[in-house]
Structure 1
Amino acid sequence: MTGSANREEAEVEQLLEFEAVSKKYGNKAALRDVSLSVGPGRIVGLLGSNGSGKTTLMRIAAGLDRPDSGTVRVLGHEPGRASKALISFMPDRPQFERWMTVGEALDFQRDFFADFDPDKSKRMLEFMKLSRGDKASSLSKGMQERLQLTLALSRRASLYLLDEPIGGVDPVARGHILDALVEFYEEDSSMIVSTHLIADIERIFDEVLMIKEGSLVLRQEVEQLRMDSGKSVDQLFKEVYAEC
């Protein structure tokens, strides 16, 4: 009985589990037999070129798409209402309406999610140099990215999924956004960040997952990867994708 209880406890400790997950859109395979797990307290880089399957993986983890085969668990839950309450997903497109002010976007997030933290959102607004009265339609691309992150990180979620959070901003703004990721995510949670801009962001990763043509081709601790290969994550990424 004790052994069974220990196994159940070990399983629940994993925030996210994929087991042999596959997904097709029409005749195109977006994910091919992907298995992975993410424990608490991790910042994980989900790396791949455009069209490699990163967004599909995130949407399935967030419960927005269903896999064709395989199983997904979020803290032991199948994707659904319970799992969605544990995940804060930042898509690669704005999750606010252009007519909204920054304050209205935050109020909408507060009304929709029970784990929204008003004090945290206030600190994030200050950090991001945003004002509640700013109109979303008047924000630059970089400031819209900051608002996206503020919406996502103002929640006290168990798992944060950020899809290309620095894809549309300049290098100076990228540094500010990376600082926000480290500063404001919950330490007992985990964060998965998808990107193809490795050199700018690899410094914050504990672990990387590389996905190519829908298949997981590498999963490793960042420090171990650097010691084993003598290369940066960005250098190794370029080698892996040069073989395409």
Structure 2
Amino acid sequence: MIELKEVTKKFGKKKALDNVTTKINKGKITGLLGPNGSGKSTMLKLITDLNKPSSGKILIDGEEIGIKSKSRISYLPEIDHFYPWMKISDAKKFVKTFYSDWQEERYQELLQFLELEESMKIDKISKGMRAKAKLLLSFSRKADIVLLDEPLSGIDIFTREKIIETIIKDYRAGEQSIIITTHEIKEVENVMDEALFLKNGKIALQGEIENLKEEKNLSLVDLMREVYGNGKQ
């Protein structure tokens, strides 16, 4: 379980997260939802320990985040994070060097499933192919926690479908926790178990998706319209 206890993160005078206290359940696929600037990416970076809270604590299974917890997390940022000169095989060696949970058999299987080749150079392939390459490397680890920041952003519908298939392909329900931020709500609604809506750096709504939809008698997209109104954070 991931717990945030009175977590605030400031950038200058702006609060990206504002006194957030919440629990994200283990073994679920959780959608971290909200407009741009609502605090989604900031929350992921705090969980990975790439950024530090201005105040408050973050715990994973009761322990404050540190070297031990970081080794359990596979993080896919929205921006490209591999050197452009790298081939996919180079990026693989880079990840494999740092993480002992690398699964070569899983990597080879996903390489074929995603229609990628190790000889492909990062700066010579399309945005969709780069998105698949990042996913390949994230899911080739046997990580307990997988954080995906806008994995569907700006790519074609066919690539998005392939990425969603990859997310659920070997998902270990009850064991593995996946947190995904996305604007493509309709496409991921059916794979998510829970949702957490951020607004102005605070939690506006949280719960199991089916329960939330039943309580409000609304689709997930309509729930978002109700929470965010005119689209402001």
Q: Which bin holds the TM-score, normalised by the shorter protein?
A: over 0.9
> Are the counterparts in 2 of residues 141 and 169 from structure 1 also a CA contact under 8 Å?
yes
2:211 — aligned with what?
224
Runs of 4+ in 1 over 2 A off after TM superposition: 184-187
Gaps of 5+ in 2: none
2:16 — aligned with what?
30
The two structures have a TM-score, normalised by structure 2, of 0.95
* 1:84 to partner: Cα distance: 0.6
> Are the counterparts in 1 of residues 213 and 223 from structure 2 also a CA contact under 8 Å?
no
> Are the counterparts in 2 of residues 101 and 135 from structure 1 also a CA contact under 8 Å?
yes
2:227 — aligned with what?
240
* 1:197 to partner: Cα distance: 2.1
Identity %: 36
Q: Secondary structure at the match of 2:160?
A: helix
1:201 — aligned with what?
188
2:107 — aligned with what?
121
Distance in 2, Cα, partners of 1:128 & 1:225 = 34
The two structures have a TM-score, normalised by structure 1, of 0.91
* 1:218 to partner: Cα distance: 0.5
Higher-RCO chain (CA-CA 8 Å, sequence separation at least 6): 2
2:43 — aligned with what?
57
Between structures 1 and 2, the one with greater helix share: 1
How many residues align? The count is 230
1:213 — aligned with what?
200
Matches within 5 A, 1:150-169: 150-169=136-155
* 1:70 to partner: Cα distance: 1.1
1:17-48 per-position Cα deviation (integer Å, ceiling 9, x unaligned): 11111111001010011112123220000001
Distance in 2, Cα, partners of 1:147 & 1:80 = 27
**In the alignment, residue 163 of structure 2 is paired with which amino acid?**
I
* Residue number among 50, 73, 78 corresponding to 1:87 in the alignment: 73
